[in-house]
């Protein structure tokens, strides 16, 4: 029976007849990228320079501790470092930080079949009996290599009795034994174990390093890609190189052999950064309609609005960094140009406000009746709290109107604060004073159609004229803030010259000035050229005027209340005082 059976068994394993070894195991087996491109030397490791420096020096000086503990999140290189260390200790060329990679020991370690490298998964061997069986052979010399290396992965999963069984051997192992422990949760290890090990904490790998490594792999694999797709994969890896490589494998299959940004975003369930940047641009310009249009485009992707808010807050953080610490924004970021562009079109205080509103909105988003509505309310809140310091048209006071008012109601003119009447008198006096054309700030003769109420030919430039112009401008946000901090220095048919104080020079940015110039052209109906100089304004800006008027109105209200007979009686009876900080002038 054996004579008939054995030949059939042997013929089944013949490579010529069946091609089992030639085609089945070598040519048809796919090796995932995380295993194919696993580092084989310290030089190939990405990141962890602080750990590599210590291990390299220890190996070169032959001062390797008998028990090393590698800690860190998943996929940062704990097991890989342990295997490279085992190879360095057992290389036939000698102990060094640069194993040859060619000898039998190095090859067997790389292939996972080195007999003196004992790898143990503590998650599946937690019992004390397993630990005792493992330690029974510790006293025997290594079979092939120089050292017998015990690599215990997820060591925190061992039971309390297993740790106790390991303690004595871990403290005083034989000279030919090295223990390499790896864990993602060092807090669960007993202090007695920690005190017997040399601990190395591996850090999360930065996003741009992961993207760089993925790019190098794809170049070697000759696979085409789009850089935004790599950025999305690196971000999804969340500091783990192994997770990023696994996602890269999935993305290659999903995109049919090439990486396309849109398809990768669909696979990851993330939102294209272009939508987030468009939202930031719409918020910068204060355009509520554009904001809602981007949200409508987003809703077609059925996004997780909490993730969109996180991405928006992350963008605001990078914009703030670009504004205050420009060097912190590295050029290795793929969208650093866009971030710098947005940093130039947003006020720093607006960025901080948007970020804070986004954080609070992210916290409250689960309380919203439905996610999209909650997300839209956060964006509308950002628009609602943008600084808008323009005076309404009804509040703008011209000298002519002021004169008519004081002539019609002389009794009521005494009620406002004395400073306001003085200011109006100054304006009237300035209106009748002669103009020296050679003096700076003198206005050339201009006859603009449609603006006959301002006699620029016979009167100098007055602040009320600039107030009137601003009140008609269809702008808000940074452009309106720029206008409110300027004084009108010169005005002609085709040119307007403004002056801004050096303390507010950060507002004088090209994108903001361009929007203000376009608004002036639209409002005044002329092809105007806007020039903004930085220097001494020599006068009161609209913002200063508004603050002064608010101050005067507050002082007048306080004075009126303090002089009220009923209030004075209450003060005498109750020995009370008027809290001026809580008095708000009533809008007339």
What are the residue boundaries of the structural domains of the chain, listed by start?
Answer: 1-29, 33-201, 207-268, 293-384, 461-588
Domain 33-201 class in CATH: alpha beta
Pick left, alpha or beta for residue 73 (phi over 0 → left; psi -120 to 50 → alpha; otherwise beta).
Answer: beta
Nearest to 208 by CA among 241, 243, 247: 241
Residues 273, 278, 281, 287, Cα dihedral to 10°: -150
Question: CATH assignment of 207-268?
Answer: 1.10.8.60
Cα 180 from Cα 187, distance rounded (Å): 17
The confidence score (pLDDT) of residue 331 equals 57
Cα 197 from Cα 171, distance rounded (Å): 8
The topology under which CATH files domain 461-588 is GMP Synthetase; Chain A, domain 3 (3.30.300)
Which run of H or of E encompasses 298? helix 288-299
pLDDT averaged per 10 residues in sequence order, the chain, 588 residues: 42 40 51 90 91 93 92 92 93 91 92 91 84 86 91 91 89 91 92 92 91 93 90 90 93 89 84 87 87 91 88 92 80 71 85 94 93 94 68 34 36 37 38 38 36 36 74 82 89 88 83 86 85 86 88 88 88 86 75
C-beta of residue 299 within 8 angstroms of C-beta of residue 372: yes
Nearest to 72 by CA among 39, 40, 50: 50
Q: pTM higher than 0.75 for the full model?
A: no
Question: CATH assignment of 293-384?
Answer: 1.20.272.10
Exposure letters 444-471 (e unless 16+ CB within 10 A, then b): eeeeeeebeebebeebbbbbbbbbbbbb
The confidence score (pLDDT) of residue 505 equals 82
Nearest to 470 by CA among 406, 557, 543, 386: 543
Q: Which residues, including other chains, have CB under 8 Å from residue 493's CB and lie 6 or more apart?
A: 446, 448, 526
The confidence score (pLDDT) of residue 387 equals 53
Query: How many Cβ atoms from other residues are within 10 Å of residue 346's Cβ?
Result: 26
């Amino acid at each position: 029976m054996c004579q008939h059976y054995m030949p059939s068994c042997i013929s089944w394993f013949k490579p010529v007849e069946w091609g089992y070894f030639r085609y089945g195991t070598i040519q048809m087996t796919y090796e995932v990228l995380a295993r194919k491109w696993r580092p084989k030397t310290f030089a190939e490791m990405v990141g962890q320079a602080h750990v590599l420096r210590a291990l390299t020096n220890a190996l070169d000086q032959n001062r390797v501790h008998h028990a090393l503990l590698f800690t860190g999140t998943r996929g940062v290189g704990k097991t890989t470092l342990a295997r490279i260390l085992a190879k360095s200790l057992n290389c036939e060329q000698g102990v060094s930080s640069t194993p040859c990679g060619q000898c039998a020991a190095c090859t067997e370690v790389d292939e996972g079949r080195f007999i003196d490298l004992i790898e143990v998964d503590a998650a599946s061997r937690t019992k004390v009996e397993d630990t005792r069986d493992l330690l029974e052979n510790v006293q025997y010399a290594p079979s092939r290599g120089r050292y017998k290396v015990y690599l215990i992965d997820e060591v925190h999963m061992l039971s309390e009795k297993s740790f106790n069984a390991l303690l004595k051997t871990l403290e005083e192992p034989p000279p030919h034994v090295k223990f390499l422990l790896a864990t993602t949760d060092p807090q669960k290890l007993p202090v007695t174990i920690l005190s017997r090990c040399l601990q190395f904490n591996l850090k999360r790998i930065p996003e741009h390093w992961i993207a760089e490594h993925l790019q190098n792999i794809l170049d070697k694999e000759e696979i085409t890609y789009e850089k935004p797709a790599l950025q999305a994969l690196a971000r999804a890896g969340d500091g783990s190189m192994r997770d990023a490589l696994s996602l890269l494998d999935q993305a290659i299959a999903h995109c049919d052999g090439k990486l396309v940004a849109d398809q990768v975003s669909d696979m990851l369930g993330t939102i294209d950064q272009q939508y987030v940047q468009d939202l930031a641009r719409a918020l910068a310009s204060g355009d509520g309609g554009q904001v809602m249009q981007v949200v409508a485009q987003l809703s077609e992707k059925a996004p997780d609005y909490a993730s969109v808010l996180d991405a928006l807050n992350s963008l605001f953080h990078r914009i703030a960094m670009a504004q205050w610490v420009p060097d912190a924004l590295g050029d290795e970021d793929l969208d650093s140009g866009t971030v710098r562009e947005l940093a130039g079109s947003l006020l720093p205080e607006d960025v901080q406000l948007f970020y804070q509103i986004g954080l609070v909105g992210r916290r409250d988003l689960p309380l919203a009746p439905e996610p999209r509505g909650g997300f839209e309310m956060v964006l509308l809140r950002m628009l609602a709290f943008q600084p808008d310091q323009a005076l309404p048209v009804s509040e703008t006071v011209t000298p002519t109107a002021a004169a008519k008012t004081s002539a019609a109601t002389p009794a009521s003119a005494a009620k406002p604060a004395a400073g306001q009447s003085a200011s109006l008198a100054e304006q009237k006096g300035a209106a009748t004073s002669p103009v020296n054309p050679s003096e700076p700030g003198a206005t050339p003769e201009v006859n603009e159609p449609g603006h006959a109420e301002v006699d620029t030919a016979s009167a100098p430039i007055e602040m009320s004229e600039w107030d009137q112009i601003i009140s008609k401008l269809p702008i808000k946000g940074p452009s309106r803030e720029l206008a409110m901090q300027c004084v009108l220095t010169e005005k002609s048919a085709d040119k307007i010259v403004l002056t801004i104080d050096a303390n507010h020079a950060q507002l004088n940015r090209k994108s903001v000035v361009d929007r203000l110039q376009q608004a002036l052209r639209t409002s005044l109906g002329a092809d105007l050229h806007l020039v903004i100089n930085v220097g001494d304004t020599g006068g009161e800006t609209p913002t200063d005027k508004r603050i002064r008027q608010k101050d005067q109105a507050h002082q007048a209200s306080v004075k009126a209340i303090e002089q009220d007979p009923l209030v004075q009686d209450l003060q005498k009876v109750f020995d009370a005082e008027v809290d001026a900080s809580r008095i708000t002038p009533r809008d007339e």
